[in-house]
A and B are shown apart, each in its own frame.
Chain A
């Protein structure tokens, strides 16, 4: 009898400790998502909060995830080495931060570290498996560095012709705008027009800060004939500083966010200034580039705001959420059209090839034009005719 009781007591820790550990593992994320009750604000007040935000220097960790129903393209993961080999790798190291980055960001999740030290200083670090890609912007210098190829690209921004506009343009072509929730939110706020309902959602907690959630829902208005794949866009705004901390895009008929970019940690102290002083390693291959070629943008599916030759100007049709962008054949870089990945990604449809995702549709018509928008494929095919 005594033996039995000793034995059963002896087994107690084997039950209790795992139970406590499992309970803690489950409870801790719950605690982080505990309900937050902020003084209620109207959408206008939250927008004003964003506008009045004076945060100019901060550092943080950003997590970006995309669930567009695409096959996994995580080129940085060791498992898909063969796919990354399939990409044409040019020796000057121009590819790593262009096409590949753009494709990568469309699937899976990625982690960035972001350092902003005012208007003209920023550094984005894309954390890869045993590697890292850096984009360092310091005044008139922009450095791109890829540790896996040990290649650096130096861009000198032309300061004479309105440095601000140029740097904004450059940023729109680099993955920075995808990595910086603040810039993404501004983009959406600018796009705001009568086609959208704006509301304030449930208060939440993101990166340890209490946030208001601004929710933008496309109006399903018969007269406007809105036809979009976007279900809603929500922007989490820090209640104390007004800095947007997270952007979530929901697609029609999908519960998991189609795209989500947000801080997982943020620090409002100014980062160490030395971080923006980039000197490429002595062993790196350095390429000097005056300005990135306009068609090499990492965000090729967005309306380009550059001014190339007339036959390369993208045509924008439609308005609001159902905007369609048409890129003429001449403007398509060979890097994109000759890419073997293109065949893998697209399927043959009536009149060309198409890439359909839960959020964005791309239609490559047989004559070389490319149509894209957050609309169903039929709308793109109609626009092509």
Chain B
């Protein structure tokens, strides 16, 4: 970036000496002011909308067990839209958006030539990494909440709403089902934290954000491929994608938090390992742009 003789319009660099919280606030506001972020959230909200509209317009009723899980229940109870949308979005769509956000973190600044201005301020590279990761993690939460809330709204708008039948056959009230929806959103958010850190690490390796984004998405697809190869079953519990669909345990009666815990442990391992790799790479990196 040759034009960097003059201070360019940096993404995060608005004030020279700012505290960590200010920098975090500015990072978040930049992230959520981007048109790309809004477009991705809109696309996430489109998943339950499409599902609900398709079921509403279709005259044929589904047999139980046909299509994605819970789809046959949607026409009887709109609250299932969110659950079905979550199952549909987890394997590809959510990792895709996470890949874009996390892959852009460092490489995006580097490609814009703003990275070294960020580091001119005594922010410190560690703090910058933490702030970038916090922004990506917040996006995970916002994306899953967008899916859950838009699913509940479109479901309530198009279909009757009533007590929800859990996988165990027991029925819970609407209020409790909303709680469980939020729990599912929390589960999925936690599920994506490991991938976010992998994306951040990949982002420190390159100055080409598109490359980091694509690599992160490829990693998530490869992990899911490995997860279905029976010869690698010893590896499966340690793949970050292994428990992605385990939120079904939150839809059983009594509530089973076992897989929530296992999932959290696996994600913490990935955050620790790739956080350390990202730290080492970023601290030792020669920042040229």
Contacts and interface: CB of A to CB of B under 8 A. Distances in A.
Q: Do A and B bind each other?
A: yes
Interface of A: 6-7, 10-14, 16-18, 21, 25, 61, 72, 79, 113, 125, 127, 129-132, 134, 143, 145, 147-152, 265, 272, 275, 278-284
What secondary structure prevails in chain A residues at the interface with B?
Answer: mixed
Given A147-B165, A149-B65, A152-B169, 8 more contacts: A13-B276, A14-B276, A18-B276, A18-B277, A148-B65, A278-B169, A283-B73, A283-B165
B272 interface: yes
B168 interface: yes
A150 B64 contact: yes
A171 B17 CA distance: 72
Contacts of B245: 129-130
A72 B230 contact: yes
A374 B165 CA distance: 43
B173 interface: no
Contact of B169 (A17, A79, A129, A284): A284
Given A11-B280, A13-B276, A25-B269, A125 B76 contact: no
Contacts of A13: 276, 279-280
Contacts of A275: 253-254
B284 interface: yes
Interface string B186-197: 000000000000
B283 interface: yes
A125 B272 CA distance: 35
Nearest to B279: A13
A283 B73 CA distance: 9
B87 interface: yes
Given A125-B168, A125-B252, A147-B169, A14 B279 contact: yes
Given A21-B269, A21-B273, A131-B69, A14 B281 contact: yes
A14 B277 contact: yes
Contacts of A272: 254
A283 B280 contact: no
B276 A281 contact: no
B276 A17 contact: yes
B287 to A, nearest CB: 13
Contacts of B258: 61, 265
Contacts of A79: 228
Contacts of B280: 10-14
Contact of B252 (A14, A127, A148, A283): A127
A7 B228 CA distance: 40
7 contacts: A14-B277, A17-B276, A17-B277, A143-B169, A147-B169, A265-B258, A272-B254
A226 B161 CA distance: 64
Given A10-B283, A72-B230, A283-B76, A132 B167 contact: yes
B64 A134 contact: no
Considering residues A14, A127, A131, which has the most beta carbons from chain B within 10 angstroms of its beta carbon? A14
B199 interface: no
Contacts of A18: 273, 276-277
A332 B271 CA distance: 56
A18 B76 CA distance: 49
B272 A21 contact: yes
A100 to B, nearest CB: 13
Given A14-B280, A18-B273, A130 B87 contact: yes
Nearest to B248: A130
Interface in B158-172: 165, 167-171
Given A13-B280, A17-B276, A18-B276, A131 B256 contact: no
A235 to B, nearest CB: 25
B275 interface: yes
Nearest to B76: A283
Contacts of A148: 64-65
